[in-house]
């Protein structure tokens, strides 16, 4: 039925089977859209946020998708600026994942502001003393970069590419992509950093506040570093899931090994910096503010020392070591374990730096604020996942996302 | 966002924030304009060449 749109020589499932899958995920998407509309039409009273606890669950999701979406800017930087040519075989998919992550982040922000009709105020009446203004500027501009990076892949669709103008446009955009990638890296550095900077300058929140360099707290650099380190892990993870779902090998092992190795070294160096930061914070910053470390990890039923150990050792040191060691990196199961731990680690880091920060009691009469999100928050947090699955399914079906797919599956196609 | 908006002040904050913002928008806009214009030129040139 849609055979004319499918890339030449590529095997895809039947159209009814594809539509059935889309319908199932689409039902989850509609649930999220319903919750989103409730938040827009009835207001933020649909959430469990209050004056004491002002961060909904989706703010964690927002920071997490931005962190894991960092694979797009970092892979683009490596491919177009550092000229690591092997990455051309995974860059299309990295861009699609980045596009999904950043469009989801913007959607979440549109829900979070409560009155999306006033979303443009952040540009028009910008508060130039706020790091979040910088985040909004860089997020919007970087989403434009991702859209520009995504367009050539769309134009390479079998039918669109027959239109001479689209064919030339895709070709010319490929030619100038280094400029867009460099702009994207510049924008990503600042918005990833400023999201960390927001936590680091919370002087009233001793769990988050950090010293730093000039106006930038150390969290500014740690957030950028962690996004560049763990973002490629997420790209590799989604690639592996896509291969499992399609039953095909889509990217050659040497490309996967290379990206895993780069990610491993980035994680390893990041986690050393993170450990130094944590030790300095625990031994100098915290006592200097009149607290003890135990204040942040005891006296409640959820946030114990386990979260610190899990984030830094289990989901930081271990994946870093597994990925920098050649034998463990080239073992598919151990590599998969490392990238799963890595993705959990960066998501946990964002959870700690957003939700635990708000939960820790600050005043002597305060108690732990253990937040339970409403179903509307859960639904709007799952919404981007459903949207991402649908977009990946559609792009995989109709666009030449993986340049090595035909070569890797030729023998299978000949057999069938 | 623009100097004609009432709260605009010519201070370092506005110049840095909006300088960076318009710089990025400028690069993206110029890059896309070049790509689209060149694609239009290439398309016209190709169709003329095929007629000859």
Q: Does A160 lie at the interface with B, CB-CB under 8 angstroms?
A: no
| Interchain pair B42, A187: CB under 8 A | no
Q: State yes or no: pLDDT of A405 exceeds 70.
A: yes
Helix (H) or strand (E) holding A305: helix A305-309
Instruction: In whole angstroms, give the CA distance from residue A60 to residue A52.
Output: 17
Helix (H) or strand (E) holding A229: helix A218-246
Residue B28: which of A133, A148, A164 has the nearest Cβ?
A: A148
Q: Taking CA atoms, what residue in A is nearest to B11?
A: A128
A250-298 per-position pLDDT tens digit? 999 999 999 999 999 999 999 999 999 999 999 999 999 999 999 999 9
What value does the mean pLDDT take over residues A61-83? 93
CB A57 within 8 A of CB A378: yes
Q: Is the pTM of this model over 0.90?
A: yes
Q: What angle do CA A368, A369, A371 make, to 5 degrees?
A: 140
Residues of B with Cβ-Cβ distance to A134 under 8 angstroms: 17
Q: Does B8 lie at the interface with A, CB-CB under 8 angstroms?
A: no
Q: Taking CA atoms, what residue in B is nearest to A132?
A: B17
**Token couple for A225:** 């570093």
Instruction: In whole angstroms, give the CA distance from residue A170 to residue A72.
Output: 19
Q: What is the mean pLDDT of chain B?
A: 90
User: Look-up: residue for tokens 């539509």?
Assistant: A19
Q: Which residues pair with A213 in a beta bridge?
A: A216
Tell me what ipTM this predicted complex has: 0.91
Residue B35: which of A128, A164, A172 has the nearest Cβ?
A: A172
What value does the mean pLDDT take over residues A309-321? 97
Q: Of the candidates A307, A323, A306, which has an alpha carbon nearest to the alpha carbon of residue A270?
A: A323
CB A381 within 8 A of CB A57: yes
Q: With cut-offs at 50, 70 and 90, classify the pLDDT of residue A414.
A: low
Domains detected in chain A: 3-403 (1.20.1630.10)
Q: Is A186 helix (H, G, I), strand (E, B) or coil?
A: helix
Q: Which residue has the higher pLDDT, A366 or A34?
A: A34
Q: What is the mean pLDDT of chain A?
A: 92
Q: Does A126 lie at the interface with B, CB-CB under 8 angstroms?
A: yes
Residue A123: which of B1, B7, B28 has the nearest Cβ?
A: B1
Give the dihedral sign, CA A264/A268/A273/A278. Answer: positive
Helix (H) or strand (E) holding A277: helix A253-280
Instruction: In whole angstroms, give the CA distance from residue A153 to residue A163.
Output: 14
CB A335 within 8 A of CB A323: yes
Distance from CA of residue A172 to its chain's centroid?
Answer: 28
CB A137 within 8 A of CB A151: no
What is the CB neighbour count within 10 angstroms for residue A413?
Answer: 12
Do strands A216-217 and A212-213 pair parallel, antiparallel, or not at all (unpaired)?
antiparallel
Q: How far is B52 from chain A (nearest CA, A)?
A: 17
């Amino acid at each position: 039925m849609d055979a004319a749109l499918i890339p030449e020589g590529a095997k895809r499932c039947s159209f009814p089977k594809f539509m059935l899958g889309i319908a199932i995920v689409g039902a989850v998407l509609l649930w999220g859209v319903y919750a989103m509309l409730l938040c827009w039409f009835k207001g933020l009273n649909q959430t469990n946020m209050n004056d004491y606890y002002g961060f909904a669950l989706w703010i964690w999701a927002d920071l997490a998708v931005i962190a894991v979406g960092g694979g797009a800017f970092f892979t683009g930087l490596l491919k177009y600026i550092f000229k690591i040519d092997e990455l051309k075989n995974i860059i299309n998919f990295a861009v699609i994942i980045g596009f999904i992550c950043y469009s989801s982040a913007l959607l979440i922000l549109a829900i979070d502001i409560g009155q999306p009709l006033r979303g443009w105020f952040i540009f028009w009446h910008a508060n130039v003393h706020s790091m979040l203004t910088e985040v909004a500027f860089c997020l919007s501009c970087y989403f434009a970069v991702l859209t520009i990076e995504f367009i050539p892949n769309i134009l390479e669709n079998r039918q669109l590419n027959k239109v001479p103008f689209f064919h030339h446009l895709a070709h010319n955009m490929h030619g100038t992509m280094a400029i867009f990638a460099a702009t994207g890296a510049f924008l990503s550095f600042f918005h990833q950093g400023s999201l960390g900077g927001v936590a680091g300058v919370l002087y009233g929140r001793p769990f988050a506040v950090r010293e730093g360099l000039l106006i930038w707290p150390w969290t500014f650099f740690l957030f950028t570093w962690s996004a560049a380190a763990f973002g490629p892990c997420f790209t590799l993870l989604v690639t592996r899931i896509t291969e499992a779902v399609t039953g095909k090998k889509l990217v050659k092992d040497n490309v996967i090994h290379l990206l895993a190795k780069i990610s491993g070294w980035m994680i390893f160096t990041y986690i050393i910096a993170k450990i130094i930061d944590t030790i300095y914070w625990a031994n100098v910053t915290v006592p200097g503010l009149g607290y003890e470390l135990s204040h942040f990890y005891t006296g409640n039923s959820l946030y114990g020392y386990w979260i610190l150990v899990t984030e830094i050792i289990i989901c930081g040191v271990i994946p870093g070591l597994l990925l920098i060691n050649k034998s463990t990196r080239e073992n598919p199961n151990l590599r998969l374990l490392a990238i799963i731990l890595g993705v959990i680690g960066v998501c946990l880091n964002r959870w700690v730096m957003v939700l635990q920060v708000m939960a820790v009691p600050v005043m002597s009469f305060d108690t732990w604020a253990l937040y339970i999100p409403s179903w509307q928050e859960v639904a709007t947090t799952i919404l981007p996942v459903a949207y991402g699955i649908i977009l990946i399914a559609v792009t995989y079906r109709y666009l030449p996302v993986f340049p090595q797919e035909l070569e890797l599956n030729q023998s299978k196609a000949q057999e069938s | 966002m623009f100097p004609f908006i009432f709260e605009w002040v010519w201070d370092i904050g506005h110049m840095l924030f909006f300088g960076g913002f318009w710089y990025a928008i400028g690069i993206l806009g110029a890059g896309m304009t070049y790509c689209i214009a060149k694609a239009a030129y290439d398309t016209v040139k190709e169709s003329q060449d095929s007629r000859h």
